[in-house]
């Protein structure tokens, strides 16, 4: 890690809800100007961590400085420099898109005319101009999320908390949100991104903390996390999903335990040796199994998560913590 200024510096953050320790001693160091991913399944403590850093709730123990300001003693200074985009689109459903942005602009200190001009500028930039007069409750999920992000940058924040910005979005809307996030970073905003999507953290984040049961269980760049698992993985996608059982048998014989992907035509096998991988793929061919695509790559973050926690990100039952908010 470089010695550049830290946007977030948290030590031993703890938050308890009743008997559950939602956050159980989290340390974070986030460099200015970077995207820092906090990755974990539902109920891991991500939202609670963000809510503490955004001064919405007080930590029960530990301390944190956000942009140099203590989150408890100097909460108001923190609020002046950050913005929060929540898990639920935190905009007012009973107002129009334009009214939401004007409302935020006025609350942040813009004059009436400035707030109106800024609202128009953002609506244009986020592709919401046509829908600007519609009540937000009639917006699609993607439009809402874009409005939510627009509402967070009415006045450009130095640091932005993005709490699961693409949960529930279709791939097209998700990519739009990703493009906006990349543009924000290019303009110098630091972003703390909470996500349960491993590919989202992989796509956007410079560094990632993997969090589970309120604790950081691994930290590093996406590459470091992957290489800490060691092995590479052979991914194979078949032309015909019906042949997967047969392909599984062939690969298990040639290599190792096969992981069946959620995609009914896809399989993956841990494999560090490119030659052996090539031979195995040839074996599939000889067995008359049609291959649509194959690749030998670093393990996905899914596999990293499995290796770190012993369970996959999706397996864990969501607990009440995320709703406790």
Q: Which is nearer to other proteins, 1 or 256 (CB)?
A: 256
Q: Which is nearer to other proteins, 1 or 14 (CB)?
A: 14
Query: Smallest distance from the beta carbon of 121 to other proteins, in angstroms?
Result: 5
> Any idea how long the chain is?
325
Name the packing angle between helices 244-254 and 274-286 (round to 10°).
140
Q: Which is nearer to other proteins, 164 or 254 (CB)?
A: 164
At residue 245, what are phi and psi to the nearest 5 degrees?
-60, -40
- Count of residues binding other proteins (CB under 8 A)? 79
Stretch near other proteins under the rule CB under 8 A, chosen from 61-69, 250-258, 269-277, 289-297: 289-297
Query: Smallest distance from the beta carbon of 140 to other proteins, in angstroms?
Result: 13
Please pick, from the candidates 30, 250, 266, 281, the single residue that binds other proteins as defined by CB under 8 A. 266
Q: Per-residue DSSP letters for 230-298?
A: ---EEEEEES-GGGHHHHHHHHHHHSSPPEEPSSTTEEEEE---HHHHHHHHHHHHHTT--EEEEEEEP
Give the span between the Cα atoms of 215 and 40, in whole angstroms: 10
Q: Which residues contact 89 (CB under 8 A, 6 or more apart)?
A: 136, 144, 145, 147, 148
Q: Which is nearer to other proteins, 187 or 275 (CB)?
A: 187
At residue 205, what are phi and psi to the nearest 5 degrees?
-85, 145
Please pick, from the candidates 61, 72, 183, 282, the single residue that binds other proteins as defined by CB under 8 A. 183
Query: Smallest distance from the beta carbon of 275 to other proteins, in angstroms?
Result: 20
Stretch near other proteins under the rule CB under 8 A, chosen from 31-39, 215-223, 278-286, 298-306: 298-306
Q: Which residues contact 36 (CB under 8 A, 6 or more apart)?
A: 8, 28, 30, 190, 191, 192, 193, 205, 206, 207, 208, 209
* 65 makes contact with other proteins (CB under 8 A): no
Q: What 3-state DSSP class applies to 306?
A: helix
* 84 makes contact with other proteins (CB under 8 A): yes
Query: Smallest distance from the beta carbon of 146 to other proteins, in angstroms?
Result: 6
Query: Smallest distance from the beta carbon of 313 to other proteins, in angstroms?
Result: 10
Stretch near other proteins under the rule CB under 8 A, chosen from 33-41, 64-72, 125-133, 272-280: 125-133
212-231 residues near other proteins, rule: CB under 8 A: none
* 171 makes contact with other proteins (CB under 8 A): yes
Name the packing angle between helices 141-152 and 97-107 (round to 10°).
20
Please name which of 55, 74, 69 lies closest in space to residue 15, comparing C-alpha atoms: 55
Query: Smallest distance from the beta carbon of 253 to other proteins, in angstroms?
Result: 22
Q: What 3-state DSSP class applies to 281?
A: helix
* 280 makes contact with other proteins (CB under 8 A): no
Give the span between the Cα atoms of 27 and 17, in whole angstroms: 19
Please pick, from the candidates 6, 26, 30, 122, the single residue that binds other proteins as defined by CB under 8 A. 122
Q: Which is nearer to other proteins, 106 or 215 (CB)?
A: 106
8-47 residues near other proteins, rule: CB under 8 A: 15, 17
* 263 makes contact with other proteins (CB under 8 A): yes
Is residue 118 within 8 Å of residue 101, measured between CB atoms? Answer: yes
């Amino acid at each position: 890690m470089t010695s550049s200024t830290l946007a977030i510096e948290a030590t031993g953050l703890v938050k308890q809800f009743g008997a559950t320790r939602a956050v159980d001693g989290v340390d974070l160091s986030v460099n200015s100007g970077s995207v820092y991913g906090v990755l974990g399944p539902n109920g891991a403590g991500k939202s609670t961590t963000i809510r503490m850093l955004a001064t919405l709730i007080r930590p029960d123990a530990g301390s944190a400085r956000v942009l140099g300001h203590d989150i408890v003693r100097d909460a108001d200074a923190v609020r002046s420099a950050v913005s929060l985009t929540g898990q639920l689109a935190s905009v007012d459903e009973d107002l129009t898109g334009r009214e939401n942005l004007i409302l935020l602009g006025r609350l942040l200190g813009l004059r009436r005319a400035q707030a109106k001009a800024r609202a128009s500028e953002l609506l244009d930039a986020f592709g919401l101009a046509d829908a600007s007069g519609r009540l937000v409750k009639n917006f699609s999920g993607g439009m809402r999320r874009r409005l939510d992000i627009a509402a967070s940058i009415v006045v450009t924040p130095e640091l932005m908390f993005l709490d699961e910005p693409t949960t529930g979005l279709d791939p097209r809307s998700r990519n739009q949100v990703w493009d906006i996030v990349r543009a924000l970073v290019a303009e110098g905003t630091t972003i703390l991104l909470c996500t349960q999507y491993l590919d989202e953290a992989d796509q956007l984040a410079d560094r990632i903390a993997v969090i589970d049961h309120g604790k950081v269980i691994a930290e590093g760049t996406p590459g470091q996390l992957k290489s800490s698992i060691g092995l590479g993985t052979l991914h194979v996608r078949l032309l015909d999903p019906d042949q997967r059982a047969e392909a599984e048998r062939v690969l298990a014989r040639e290599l190792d335990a096969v992981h069946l992907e959620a995609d009914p035509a896809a399989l993956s096998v841990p494999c560090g040796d490119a030659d052996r991988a090539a031979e195995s793929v040839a074996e599939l061919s000889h067995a008359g199994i049609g291959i649509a695509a194959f690749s030998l790559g670093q393990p996905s973050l899914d596999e990293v998560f499995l290796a770190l926690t012993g369970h996959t990100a999706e397996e864990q039952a969501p607990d009440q913590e995320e709703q406790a908010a």
